[in-house]
Amino acid sequence: MNSEHAIVTTDLVKRYGARRALDGFTLAVPTYAVLGLVGPNGAGKTTWMMSVAGFLRATSGTINLLGNGPFDAAVHRGRISILPQDSELPLESRPLELLAHYGLLQGLTRREAERSAQAMLTEVHLGDRLNSPIRTLSHGMRKRVMIAQCFIGYPEVVLLDEPLSGLDPREVARMRDFLARRRGRQTIVISSHNLHDIELICDHVAFVETGRAVRVATLEEVVGTGSTLVYALTALPEDTAKVAEAAPDLSLSWTDDPCGLVCRYDPRQTTPAEVNALILPALLAQSGVVRVAQGSDLETEYLEGRVLKRDPRA
């Protein structure tokens, strides 16, 4: 992959009768990024993924996948994979033979396909169920087979629609690690309603509302990892003005549930240590500081609507 963006969609429209599921969806996914799609139900995340994978025919707009235009099996075979939502695997098949079959179709040799299938199934902790019929697997196990099939043959682009839903907490943690390890090696797009997962796995986030991508940014930009310090407090100080006086050049905002202070600074002019040196004494004089964290969290930023306000296009 030489191009800067693995997927570029421009003004993508998908209409179902009068309803527009995608309404000018413009998004460029940087190559080797792990991008999270965040948005309410019906915003168009799944429709966008299905359009990119060639399952849905867009009404208008353009798709450029890996610099070779819209999806074409002859061109993109083995270079893209998808975990579609609400799609069952063939129930009578066995995971190992099915994944090897998929690998062969992608252009792998039999040996490569079998090796890749076995490795992926072991990676998702199904090494002991390689030859069990899929109908005998639990929902979570089937989901893991579905995830494993996405990574057969190491495709350049992987689209995952709600990959972690239905998994038990231990598997969720393992899958998060597995996906996070793909950062910088494959281009991955993940659609999820669990913002905590997105935060742990992704390095980019796209916010989707009513069929459009309203903001695309790095996770760092969204949660302010390099420009925000968040202080968790035992109680709000009685005299907040005094704290503000201690750091007149910083932007401070107070939260009361839970009690805390969000301090934004310009990383080009100051460092977190310098900010702490100004703020902490003033805070400790009036209140207890439980924890200091770099940056906010995605869920707070999203629920309080700050992620969209900061974008001039929003």
Q: Which of 81, 186, 192, 296 binds other proteins (CB under 8 A)?
A: 81
Residues in binding contact with other proteins, number by CB under 8 A: 31
Beta carbon nearer to other proteins, 163 or 295: 163
- Compute the C-alpha angle 277/282/283, nearest 5°: 100
**How far apart are CB 91 and other proteins at their closest, in Å?**
8
Beta carbon nearer to other proteins, 81 or 192: 81
Q: Is 166 left (phi over 0), alpha (psi -120 to 50) or beta?
A: left
**How far apart are CB 72 and other proteins at their closest, in Å?**
8
Tokens of 232: 């968790």
Tokens of 6: 């693995």
Q: SS3 for 262?
A: strand
State how beta strands 187-191 and 204-209 pair: unpaired
Position 105 contacts other proteins (CB under 8 A):
yes
Q: Which of 242, 195, 243, 240 is nearest to 219 (CA)?
A: 195
Position 77 contacts other proteins (CB under 8 A):
yes
Q: SS3 for 104?
A: helix
Considering only the stretches 76-84, 170-178, 230-238, 241-249, report the one whose residues sit in contact with other proteins under the rule CB under 8 A: 76-84
Q: Which of 15, 101, 306, 310 binds other proteins (CB under 8 A)?
A: 101
Task: Assess whether the previous peptide bond of 133 is cis (omega < 30° from 0).
Answer: no
Contact 147, 83 (CB under 8 A): yes
**How far apart are CB 71 and other proteins at their closest, in Å?**
7
* Integer Cα distance of 52 and 58 in angstroms: 9
**How far apart are CB 250 and other proteins at their closest, in Å?**
49
* Integer Cα distance of 235 and 259 in angstroms: 6
Per-position x/- string for 145-184, each x denoting binding to other proteins as judged by CB under 8 A, each - no binding:
-x--x-----------------------------------
b/e code 39-78 from CB counts within 10 Å (16+ = b):
beeebbbbbbbbbbbbebebeebebbbbeeebbeeeebeb
- Residues ≥6 apart with Cβ < 8 Å to 281: 246
Position 74 contacts other proteins (CB under 8 A):
yes
**How far apart are CB 149 and other proteins at their closest, in Å?**
6
Q: SS3 for 135?
A: helix
Beta carbon nearer to other proteins, 14 or 212: 14
Alpha helices in 78-125 (DSSP H): 95-105, 110-123
Considering only the stretches 101-109, 136-144, 241-249, 252-260, report the one whose residues sit in contact with other proteins under the rule CB under 8 A: 101-109
Position 302 contacts other proteins (CB under 8 A):
no
State how beta strands 34-38 and 60-65 pair: unpaired
Q: Which of 41, 88, 170, 312 binds other proteins (CB under 8 A)?
A: 88
- Using CB under 8 A as the binding rule, the residues of this chain from 29 to 58 that contact other proteins are 50, 53-57
Q: Which of 25, 48, 102, 178 binds other proteins (CB under 8 A)?
A: 102
**Residues at the site binding other proteins, with contacts judged by CB under 8 A:** 50, 53-57, 71, 73-74, 76-78, 80-82, 84, 86-90, 92-93, 101-102, 104-107, 146, 149
